[in-house]
Chains A and B, each alone.
Chain A
Amino acid sequence: SQQGEEDPQALSIQEGENATMNCSYKTSINNLQWYRQNSGRGLVHLILIRSNEREKHSGRLRVTLDTSKKSSSLLITASRAADTASYFCARKDGANSKLTFGKGITLSVRP
């Protein structure tokens, strides 16, 4: 069963605004990953953050991890219409375990 719970389920913003998406989980993790899925396509890996890391950046993406609160946030700065997609967090519990995905967040960026 999924234990990565994303919040909000849907988000609609204006182009140029920042989008913040949250993910909570219940068990200890080895790492947490964020993926994007465009309509009708497969998931694309965006960024990975390990349990001993607190923040990572990749271009306009910023991911934070708070292991004490068992939560992570994905921030997309200066959003573009092309960022419209579903975003999933996925947790890896142990070094040899599989990824467990949440249900996803639908982001709509209005031009």
Chain B
Amino acid sequence: DAEITQSPRHKITETGRQVTLACHQTWNHNNMFWYRQDLGHGLRLIHYSYGVQDTNKGEVSDGYSVSRSNTEDLPLTLESAASSQTSVYFCASSESLEGRYGYTFGSGTRLTVV
């Protein structure tokens, strides 16, 4: 069965370190998204991609970067982790720009920056 997987599920890192969160989907979806979820803020879009070599900034992109070298993967990199980036991160993918079928979400990565 097709799926979208995130790794690791939990990560503790130190302030200033570079961290990469993985997202891999086997749905063959062109569109992929990274959100962070924080109490009181709901889900906020970090970066997104509409296809290979395409990346775009979302509303909270500062301190984050992504790259899209193939259809299946959209890794999220925190260039220099800060305590404000402690959060739960969700990757999602969708079949069409119309979003007719909604987004498919991964199970999330809980990141703690100490």
Contacts and interface: CB of A to CB of B under 8 A. Distances in A.
A41 B42 contact: no
B90 A42 contact: yes
A25 interface: no
A61 to B, nearest CB: 13
B99 A33 contact: yes
Interface residues of B, number: 25
Interface residues of A, number: 24
Given A42-B90, A88-B43, A101-B43, A48 B100 contact: yes
A103 B33 contact: no
B45 interface: yes
Interface in A72-111: 88, 92, 95-96, 98-104
A98 B48 contact: yes
Contact of B107 (A42, A98, A101): A42
Contact of A88 (B42, B99, B101): B42
A43 B42 contact: no
B98 A30 contact: yes
A42 B105 contact: yes
Nearest to B41: A103
Interface of B: 33, 35, 40-45, 48, 58-59, 90, 92, 97-108
